[in-house]
């Protein structure tokens, strides 16, 4: 339970939710919010209707120019990444009425609070005014008073100057770069250490408790802090056939990976010219390396997604034939586009894989999972990682595995991989395959996410699990 709030300081409290409508002749500011903030608040309002069941991925702001699109994307991603943190601080500013607000009001407050807490270059007055302006148009004129009063109160409770180092106290919120937003005016994080981590890092308390039971408090804290990092762009350069370009690439701590420092346009230009390097985190590349000692003639990629691990398989086994598919039509279409001119890789409809029953030397199952090992990249996944969801995913994984066993030729191997840290999706599935399908583990690895706020980008790595069975 949260402690009783102290008497309010700063801007005066707003009137109740059923506020009196403006009187005839009241002045209405009819200016629109900026395109980036308009787009962000509209999309966060849509997500607020479903929270915590936030859909996978996010829309891209295609109708905005490059600068506005970048800001809009950053606003939505930051709001998603720190939703619990923002809701807690807004609940304080509203004096405990957060859950009663309409989705559009929540969106205006979340996006405004995100700028106050996490955006150094946005003037606080602008953040407040833009949210107030949008909610007047999107909801009703009278809603502007509530938005204005609560965001102004929050802005007074957050120090203007960032603290250079986060000490993880009750009066500060950690930032992605290792600094902290200082809190004052009675706004504090909970006394209980686990609740404090949950609020500070926006990790649901039930997920945090599961981590603590499995790996202890300190490692759970490190995982939570890892999740607030804005991940770098990492390229798989292990199979580069020509010298790497200088300047934009920096060697990662993991051999065969480099961090890209440059613009989005520069990244697209580089990857368009070089098919021997591709975007892939060092953690994501680990599973395929477990199979490097094999010599398969036919490989099946069962849940191939958009083809990242398939590209890695193609590079490690240049003489093998690869058949790949994904049950999702849009991902399968992207997969087909990546390998459109590669005669060693054929993309099939998902149900066509049965043609290869008993013929596959290596089957890669990059299974759908809770994504708890990649929460820094999949920012929305933390809110869906409930026990119920993980149990359901585990059942789906077992069905995919059972179907995939039929593909294996005599002596064939299966490589099972997830982006999860949960034993039910990882080690338990390997034991299930061993018990019911007589597949013996040959190699197994659990990679824990690496890197803390303020660490060099070269230290960052997603987590992953993989097991090779034969």
Give mean pLDDT, residues 48-55.
92
Read off the pLDDT of residues 385-424 as tens digits, 9 standing for 90 and up.
999 999 999 999 999 999 999 999 999 999 999 999 999 9
Q: How many CB atoms lie within 10 A of CB 354?
A: 11
**Order of strands across the sheet with 249-251?**
249-251, 257-260, 233-236, 278-279
Q: At what angle do helices 205-215 and 193-201 cross, to 10 degrees?
A: 120
Read off the pLDDT of residues 76-115 as tens digits, 9 standing for 90 and up.
999 999 999 999 999 999 988 999 999 999 999 999 999 9
Confidence of residue 62 (pLDDT cuts 50, 70, 90): confident
Confidence of residue 56 (pLDDT cuts 50, 70, 90): confident
pLDDT for 378 equals 95
The model scores a pTM over 0.95: no
For the stretch 3-28, what's the b/e string if a residue is b when 16 or more beta carbons lie within 10 angstroms of its beta carbon? eeeeeeebbeebeeeeeeeeeeeeee
Strands 257-260 and 249-251, by their bridges, are antiparallel
pLDDT at 26 over 60: no
pLDDT at 451 over 50: yes
Spatial contact of 136 and 128, defined as CB atoms under 8 Å apart? no
Confidence of residue 33 (pLDDT cuts 50, 70, 90): confident
CA-CA distance, 172 to 180, in Å (whole number)? Answer: 6
pLDDT for 31 equals 56
**Average per-residue pLDDT in the chain?**
92
Give mean pLDDT, residues 203-211.
98
Query: What are the chain's domains?
Result: 35-201 (1.10.940.10), 233-280 (no CATH), 290-469 (3.40.50.150)
pLDDT at 27 over 90: no
Read off the pLDDT of residues 303-323 as tens digits, 9 standing for 90 and up.
999 999 999 999 999 999 999
The closest alpha carbon to 38, from 89, 121, 103, 107, belongs to 107
Spatial contact of 224 and 234, defined as CB atoms under 8 Å apart? no
pLDDT at 187 over 90: yes
pLDDT for 127 equals 96
Give mean pLDDT, residues 45-65.
86
Strand, coil or helix: what is 280? Answer: coil
pLDDT at 37 over 70: yes
Confidence of residue 21 (pLDDT cuts 50, 70, 90): very low
- The CA-based angle 51-55-59, given to 5 degrees, is 115
For the stretch 34-63, what's the b/e string if a residue is b when 16 or more beta carbons lie within 10 angstroms of its beta carbon? bbbbbbbbbbbbebbeebeebeeebeebee
Phi, psi of 182 (to 5 degrees): -80, 145
Strand ranges for 229-347 from DSSP E: 233-236, 249-251, 257-260, 278-279, 298-301, 321-324, 345-347
Spatial contact of 441 and 469, defined as CB atoms under 8 Å apart? yes
pLDDT at 4 over 80: no
Alpha-helical regions (H) of 119-168:
124-138, 143-156
Give mean pLDDT, residues 291-312.
97
pLDDT at 240 over 80: yes
């Amino acid at each position: 339970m949260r402690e009783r709030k102290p008497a309010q300081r700063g801007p005066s409290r707003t009137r109740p939710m059923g506020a009196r409508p403006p009187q005839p002749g009241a002045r209405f500011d009819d200016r629109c919010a900026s395109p980036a903030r308009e787009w962000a608040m509209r999309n966060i309002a849509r997500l607020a209707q479903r929270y915590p069941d936030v859909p996978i991925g996010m829309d891209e702001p295609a109708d905005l120019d490059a600068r506005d699109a970048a800001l809009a994307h950053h606003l939505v991603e930051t709001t998603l990444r720190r939703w619990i943190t923002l809701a807690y601080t807004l609940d304080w500013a509203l004096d405990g009425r957060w859950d009663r607000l309409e989705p559009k009001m929540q969106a205006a407050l979340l996006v405004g609070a995100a700028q106050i807490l996490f955006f150094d270059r946005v003037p606080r007055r602008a953040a407040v005014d833009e949210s107030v302006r949008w909610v007047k148009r999107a909801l009703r004129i009278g809603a502007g008073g509530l938005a204005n009063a609560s965001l102004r109160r929050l802005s007074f409770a957050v120090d203007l100057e960032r603290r250079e180092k986060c000490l993880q106290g009750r009066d500060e919120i950690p930032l992605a770069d290792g600094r902290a937003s200082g809190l004052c005016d009675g706004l504090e994080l909970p006394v209980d250490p686990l609740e404090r981590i949950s609020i500070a890092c926006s990790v649901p308390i039930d997920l945090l408790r599961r981590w603590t039971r499995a790996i202890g408090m300190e490692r759970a804290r490190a995982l939570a802090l890892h999740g607030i990092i804005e991940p770098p762009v990492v390229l798989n350069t292990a199979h580069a056939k020509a010298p790497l370009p200088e300047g934009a690439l920096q060697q990662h701590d993991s051999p065969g990976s480099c961090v890209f420092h440059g613009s989005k346009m520069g990244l697209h230009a580089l990857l368009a010219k070089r098919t021997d390097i591709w975007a892939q985190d060092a953690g994501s590349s680990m599973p395929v390396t477990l199979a490097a000692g094999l010599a398969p003639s036919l490989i099946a990629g069962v849940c191939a997604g958009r083809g990242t691990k398939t590209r890695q398989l193609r590079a490690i086994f240049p003489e093998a034939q690869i058949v790949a598919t994904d049950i999702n039509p849009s991902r399968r279409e992207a997969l087909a586009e990546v390998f459109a001119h590669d005669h060693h890789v054929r993309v099939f409809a998902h149900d066509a894989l049965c043609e290869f029953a008993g013929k596959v030397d290596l089957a890669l199952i990059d299974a759908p999972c809770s994504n708890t090992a990649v929460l820094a990249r999949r920012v929305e996944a933390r809110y869906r990682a409930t026990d119920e969801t993980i149990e359901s995913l585990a059942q789906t994984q077992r069905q995919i595995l059972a179907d995939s066993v039929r593909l294996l030729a005599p002596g064939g191997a299966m490589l099972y991989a997830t982006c999860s840290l949960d034993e039910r999706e990882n080690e338990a599935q390997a034991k299930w395959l061993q018990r019911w399908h007589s597949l013996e583990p040959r190699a197994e690895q659990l990679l824990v996410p690496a890197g803390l706020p303020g660490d060099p980008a070269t230290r960052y790595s997603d987590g992953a699990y993989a097991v090779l069975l034969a």
